[in-house]
Amino acid sequence: MAQDIPPAGAAGLIPADALARIPGYEPGQRPDSLTVLSGGTVNQSFRVDTRAGSFVLRLNAAAAAGLGANHAREAQLHAAAASAGVAPQLIYADLAGRFMIMRFVAGAVWKAADFADLPRLCLLGATLRSLHAIAAPAVAAFDLGDILRGHCARLIAAEPAQRALLESLMEQADAALALCARGGRQATIVHNDLCHSNLIQGERLYLIDWEYAAVADPIFDPACVLAYYPDAEPLAQDLLDATGLGASVSMTVLARARFLFEFLSFLWHRRRRLSKEVAAADDAVEAALLRRLSV
Q: Do 9 and 154 reside in the same domain of the chain?
A: no
Of the chain, the end-to-end C-alpha distance in Å amounts to 36
Q: Do 76 and 160 reside in the same domain of the chain?
A: no
278 confidence band (pLDDT: 50, 70, 90): low
Of 58, 82, 103, which closes a domain? 103
Separation CA 86–CA 88 (nearest Å): 7
The pLDDT assigned to 106 comes to: 93
Beta bridge partners of 59: 44, 99
The count of structural domains within the chain is 2
Which residues, 6+ apart, have CB-to-CB distance to 286 below 8 Å? 266, 269, 270, 273
Nearest alpha carbon to residue 101 among 110, 92, 89, 109: 92
More confidently predicted of 8 and 293:
293
Range 200-216 average pLDDT = 95
The pLDDT assigned to 209 comes to: 94
Of 103, 134, 152, which closes a domain? 103
Please report, rounded to a whole number, the percentage of residues in the chain having pLDDT higher than 70.
92
pLDDT at position 1 over 50:
no
Of 103, 118, 149, which closes a domain? 103
245 confidence band (pLDDT: 50, 70, 90): very high
The pLDDT assigned to 67 comes to: 66
Range 225-238 average pLDDT = 96
Threshold 0.85, pTM exceeds: yes
Separation CA 287–CA 293 (nearest Å): 10
Please report, rounded to a whole number, the percentage of residues in the chain having pLDDT higher than 90.
75
pLDDT at position 7 over 50:
no
How confident is the model over 56-87, as pLDDT tens digits? 999 988 766 666 789 999 999 999 999 999 99
Range 96-109 average pLDDT = 94
DSSP 8-class letter at 86:
S
Separation CA 219–CA 191 (nearest Å): 11
Range 119-138 average pLDDT = 97
How confident is the model over 8-42, as pLDDT tens digits? 444 467 888 999 999 999 887 778 888 888 766 67
Q: Could you tell me the residue range of the domain that residue 79 belongs to?
A: 3-103
Bin 12: left if φ > 0, else alpha if -120 < ψ < 50, else beta: alpha
Q: Do 88 and 122 reside in the same domain of the chain?
A: no
CATH number at residue 152: 3.90.1200.10
155 confidence band (pLDDT: 50, 70, 90): very high
CATH number at residue 30: 3.30.200.20
Q: Do 119 and 190 reside in the same domain of the chain?
A: yes
Separation CA 62–CA 69 (nearest Å): 10
The pLDDT assigned to 26 comes to: 85
